[in-house]
Homo-oligomer: A and B are copies of this chain.
Amino acid sequence: MSKLRVHSLALSLDGFATGEGQSFEAPFGHAGGRLMEWFFPTRTFVGMSGHEDEAVGAGTVGVDDAFASATERNIGAEIMGRGKFGPQTGPWEDDSWRGWWGDEPPFHTPVVVLTHHERPDLVVGETTFLFRQLAPHAALELATELADGRDVRLGGGPTVVREFLEADLVDHLHIVVVPIVLGRGVRLWDGLEGLEERFTVEVTASPSGVVHYVFSRRP
Could you tell me which A residues sit within 8 Å of B by CB distance?
Answer: 13-15, 177, 179-184, 187, 189-196, 201, 203-206, 209-211, 213
Contact A201–B179 (Cβ < 8 Å): yes
State the Cβ distance, A10 to closest chain B Cβ, in Å: 14
Minimum CB distance partner of A211 in chain B = B211
Minimum CB distance partner of A199 in chain B = B179
* A177 CA / B203 CA spacing, docked (Å): 11
State the Cβ distance, A167 to closest chain B Cβ, in Å: 16
Interface of A (DSSP majority class): loop
Contact B180–A196 (Cβ < 8 Å): yes
Contact B181–A195 (Cβ < 8 Å): yes
Contact A181–B194 (Cβ < 8 Å): yes
* A212 CA / B201 CA spacing, docked (Å): 16
State the Cβ distance, A41 to closest chain B Cβ, in Å: 17
Minimum CB distance partner of A30 in chain B = B193
Enumerate chain B residues within 8 angstroms of A189, measured Cβ to Cβ: 13-14, 181, 183
Q: List 20 A-B contacts (CB under 8 A).
A: A13-B15, A13-B177, A13-B213, A14-B15, A177-B177, A177-B211, A179-B196, A179-B213, A180-B194, A180-B196, A181-B192, A181-B196, A183-B190, A183-B194, A184-B193, A203-B211, A204-B205, A205-B205, A205-B211, A211-B211
* A204 CA / B203 CA spacing, docked (Å): 10
Contact A193–B181 (Cβ < 8 Å): yes
* A191 CA / B184 CA spacing, docked (Å): 9
State the Cβ distance, A33 to closest chain B Cβ, in Å: 15
* A192 CA / B206 CA spacing, docked (Å): 24
State the Cβ distance, A198 to closest chain B Cβ, in Å: 10
